[in-house]
């Protein structure tokens, strides 16, 4: 596989239908009206991008949607290799770090396919106003308070400002193989769920690391 050519083919297919500006209200309503079960999620840009990738790349069997599963972890899609679809907001504190999939599943997929890939939508978010207009609209649309919101209220934590829009600047294709996996961090390792069971470790990509093979296609 010529990785750069493969990325170019995927990019062209994706950008034939993917908007460059994602209004939060329009995106949430689009997901709801097209039966995406994740339209209620607070971090809607990632779910919107995943949903659009599934719709666009799944046409004409260009991608297999979903991809292979390892245990209870499923990749979003597969062409020659398994892929996951991620949205990364550049203008937030996480900087160059992109959380991805379960570590064990990635190890198994690399053993089977040689590498795995991540298609990352990069851009800047526009945040909610001081009156939290978007949050109030989204909460009213959902019709009930989420468990996450109930837990936040119970512990007296402040509500984070929601992303109200997202401007797509680039699509980044990141490849992780056996060697570059060693350069990646992990998160959730050693943490436990509310019921006391251990959480599975996940892989954290640092997209600024030159040891990780990647190709960036900027939106003109």
pLDDT in tens, 132-166: 999 999 999 999 765 655 564 555 545 678 999 99
pLDDT in tens, 61-88: 999 999 999 999 999 999 999 999 999 9
CB half-sphere exposure, 71, CA atoms < 13 A: 11
pLDDT the model gives residue 206: 92
Count H helices, E strands: the chain? 6, 11
pLDDT in tens, 167-180: 999 999 999 999 99
pLDDT the model gives residue 125: 95
The top-scoring range by mean pLDDT among 156-160, 188-192, 201-205 is 201-205
pLDDT in tens, 10-60: 999 999 999 999 999 999 999 999 999 999 999 999 999 999 999 999 999
The gap between the terminal CA atoms of the chain, to the nearest Å, is 26
Long-range contacts (CB closer than 8 Å, 24 or more residues apart) made by 31-38: 32/141
CA separation (Å) from 110 to 3, 82, 169, 176? 16, 9, 29, 8
pLDDT the model gives residue 193: 44
Rounded CA gap, 174 and 79, in Å?
A: 15
pLDDT the model gives residue 189: 54
Q: What is the mean pLDDT of residues 114-143?
A: 96
pLDDT the model gives residue 130: 93
Domain extents in the chain: 3-218
CA separation (Å) from 25 to 91, 118, 133, 153, 175? 20, 26, 11, 24, 33
By mean pLDDT, which of 1-10, 91-100, 134-143, 172-181 is the weakest? 91-100
pLDDT the model gives residue 17: 97
pLDDT the model gives residue 195: 47
């Amino acid at each position: 596989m010529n990785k750069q050519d493969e990325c170019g083919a995927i990019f062209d297919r994706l950008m034939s239908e993917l908007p460059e500006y994602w209004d939060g209200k329009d995106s949430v309503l689009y997901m709801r009206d097209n039966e995406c079960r994740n339209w209620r999620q607070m971090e809607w840009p990632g779910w919107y991008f995943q949903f659009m990738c599934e719709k666009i790349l799944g046409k004409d069997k260009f991608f297999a949607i979903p991809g292979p599963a390892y245990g209870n972890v499923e990749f979003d899609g597969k062409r020659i290799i398994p892929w996951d679809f991620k949205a990364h907001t550049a203008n937030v504190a996480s900087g160059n770090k992109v959380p991805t999939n379960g570590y064990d599943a990635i190890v198994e997929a690399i053993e089977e396919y040689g590498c795995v890939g991540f298609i990352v939508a990069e851009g800047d978010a526009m945040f909610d106003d001081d009156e939290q207009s978007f949050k109030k609209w989204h909460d009213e649309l959902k019709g009930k308070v989420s468990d996450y919101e109930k837990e936040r209220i119970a512990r007296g934590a402040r509500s984070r400002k929601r992303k109200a829009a997202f401007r797509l600047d680039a699509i980044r294709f990141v490849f992780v193989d056996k060697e570059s996996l060693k350069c990646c961090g992990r998160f959730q390792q050693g943490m436990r769920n509310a019921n006391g069971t251990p959480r599975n470790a996940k892989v954290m990509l640092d997209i600024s690391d030159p040891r990780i093979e990647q190709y960036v296609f900027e939106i003109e």
